[in-house]
Amino acid sequence: MSFLDFFKNRIGIKNKRDFRFLLLLYFWIIIIIYIYMIPFFWLKENSKFEVETEIKKSSIPGAGNGRFSLEDIKEGTLIRKLKFINIKDYITNSKLNKNTDINYFIIFNDYYDLNLLVEYFKSFKLLDEEEIKTKIAWFMGYIDNKLCIQSHSSYYNHSNEYNIKRIVDNEYLYHYANRDIEKNSELFIDYNDYIMPDYFFDWCRDNNIHGILSFL
């Protein structure tokens, strides 16, 4: 008796069609679990917003995807909350699968910290180095004199008519609606206050990539 025949008998499957279906089901379950565990911020669509939202094509031509509200939002409503964490602690927690459901703002202190995240993402052997670096450059932010990136991307695009304001309180960053927002509206923040440090521009130049401010 072959191993496959033994396995089929053990789980009570009598025909090949059911067996193939079960194998395919197991395969996709494993893939979904693996993708869920990968810390690629641009794949984390469930970003624990305090209001109902969805990601779809941005209303800004050429901007890719954006985040849209699925409900009416009143001015002053809390949209999202994120906790600051340094890159080394974030990588340690991720490797231990610890607190992976928390929305983090990952802090970088220098040029070499950026490469730490690149090397960590490379360890999953799913993307090449160039694509990883491009994603990092595009999703970078600058909050409270800190260069940082979200562990679960918000997918906010920039607009001078932004409807989300940011407030820092100790170790947390809060996003609030700065005016009433109608259902199905895109959520925007202001990139103009992103005063990026020189080492970020050096890193982008050395890797021949454009940073987030190129979208202004």
Please give the residue that has the higher pLDDT: either 126 or 185: 185
Query: What 3-state DSSP class applies to 66?
Result: strand
Shared domain check, 160 and 77 = yes
Q: What is the pLDDT of residue 4?
A: 47
Query: Rounded mean pLDDT of 151-161?
Result: 89
CA angle 184, 83, 174 (to 5 degrees): 45
Q: What is the pLDDT of residue 127?
A: 80
Query: Rounded mean pLDDT of 8-16?
Result: 55
Domain of 125, CATH number, reads 2.170.270.10
In sequence order, what are the residues at sequence separation of 6 or more whose Cβ sits closer than 8 angstroms to the Cβ of residue 7?
none
Does residue 161 carry a pLDDT above 60? yes
Shared domain check, 210 and 106 = yes
Which pLDDT tens digit goes with each residue over 63-110?
Answer: 889 999 999 999 999 999 999 999 999 999 888 876 666 788 899 999
Shared domain check, 70 and 166 = yes
Hey, what amino acid is at 164? I
Shared domain check, 25 and 119 = no
Distance, in Å, from the CA atom of 51 to the CA atom of 177, rounded to the nearest integer, reads: 11
Provide the number of structural domains found in the chain: 2
Q: Average per-residue pLDDT in the chain?
A: 82
Q: How confident is the model at residue 195 (pLDDT cuts 50, 70, 90)?
A: confident
Shared domain check, 202 and 131 = yes
Shared domain check, 101 and 28 = no
User: Strand order in 104-108's β-sheet?
Assistant: 140-143, 146-150, 104-108, 78-86, 172-177, 164-169
Q: Name beta bridge partners: 105.
A: 84, 150
Q: Which domain holds residue 20?
A: 3-37
Shared domain check, 89 and 22 = no
Shared domain check, 179 and 197 = yes
Distance, in Å, from the CA atom of 86 to the CA atom of 29, rounded to the nearest integer, reads: 32
Q: How confident is the model at residue 211 (pLDDT cuts 50, 70, 90)?
A: confident
Q: What is the pLDDT of residue 36?
A: 47
Are the CB atoms for 188 and 180 separated by under 8 Å? no
What is the percent of the chain where pLDDT is above 70? 74
Q: What is the pLDDT of residue 34?
A: 47
Q: What is the pLDDT of residue 26?
A: 59
Are the CB atoms for 185 and 68 separated by under 8 Å? yes
Shared domain check, 104 and 13 = no
Shared domain check, 107 and 16 = no
Residue 111 CB neighbour total at 10 angstroms: 14
Residue 6 CB neighbour total at 10 angstroms: 9
Does residue 116 carry a pLDDT above 70? yes
Shared domain check, 146 and 131 = yes
Query: H helices within 1-100, ranges in order?
Result: 3-10, 16-37, 87-95
Shared domain check, 117 and 15 = no
Q: How confident is the model at residue 158 (pLDDT cuts 50, 70, 90)?
A: very high
Q: What is the pLDDT of residue 64?
A: 87
